[in-house]
Amino acid sequence: MSRAKETSDALNPPVVEAARVVVPARTAGDYLALALATCGVGLIPLAPGTWGSAVGVVVYLALGRAAQTTFDYAVTRGLDLSPQTFQTLLTTALLFVVFIISLAGTWAATRAEKLFGKKDPGAVVVDEVAGQLVAFLFVPWGAGWWAVVAGFVAFRAFDIWKPYPVRRLEGLGGGLGVMADDLLAGFYAAALVSLLVSVQILF
């Protein structure tokens, strides 16, 4: 016996039970991914990407202070180190941190996309943190606060504008696409800020 077709136009439509959607319980890995992906600020409703960049600035300043303290301690212990050695130490540490955040962020963003049920959700800001750090790669530590502000503004501008081929990198999909476009935007910002610092030094 064939089943009657369900239709809202029937005079006496059959009673249809509401579908039960089973949402799997979140695991510890899910919570870790969300924590890494949002960096504690991604769920702020107003401009989460800007807040993510602000986290990147804080990480950069903290890293610079730590490198400065380490360098000063090494000098007081009798090591003959030049100021250029400090900048090399800071740049190396910054590259290492960017590498670690990029790897962790790719994993976390991929998992967060599944948890949020959308591509590149706004709450995922670990990409802004990594991109903002890249923007400071070529900035001398002693350049001054103006360079930090310039790096922040430049990265936000390139991240929003997404000049070629930044936007195309979003098509890579998953966490790789989430991270890659912001990292390239960070390199654009780094080039601009480096140019500004060079002009400031020369003139």
Length of the chain: 203
Please name the amino acid found at residue 30.
Answer: D
Q: What is the pLDDT of residue 79?
A: 85
> What is the chain's pLDDT, residue by residue, as a tens digit (203 residues)?
444 444 344 445 455 444 343 356 789 999 999 999 999 999 999 999 999 999 999 999 999 999 999 988 888 888 888 878 889 999 999 999 999 999 999 999 999 999 999 888 999 999 999 999 999 999 999 899 999 999 999 999 999 999 999 999 988 989 999 999 999 999 999 999 999 999 988 88
- Is 35 within the bounds of a domain? no
- Is 15 within the bounds of a domain? no
Read off the tokens for 10: 């029937």
- Is 145 within the bounds of a domain? yes
Contact 55/130 with Cβ under 8 angstroms? no
Count the domains in the chain: 1
Cα gap 76→13, rounded to integer Å: 86
Give 3-state DSSP helix, strand, coil % of the chain, rounded to 5.
70, 0, 30
- If one counts every other C-beta atom within 10 angstroms of the C-beta of residue 176, the result is 16
Classify residue 55 as exposed, middle or buried by CB count within 10 Å of its CB (0-12, 13-18, 19+): buried
Burial 5-43 (b: 16+ CB within 10 A, else e): eeeeeeeeeeeeeeeeeeeeeeeeeeeebbebbbbebbe
- Is 187 within the bounds of a domain? yes
Read off the tokens for 9: 């136009």
Report pTM: 0.85
Contact 61/51 with Cβ under 8 angstroms? no
Q: What is the pLDDT of residue 2?
A: 46
Range of the domain at 131: 46-202
Q: What is the pLDDT of residue 4?
A: 44
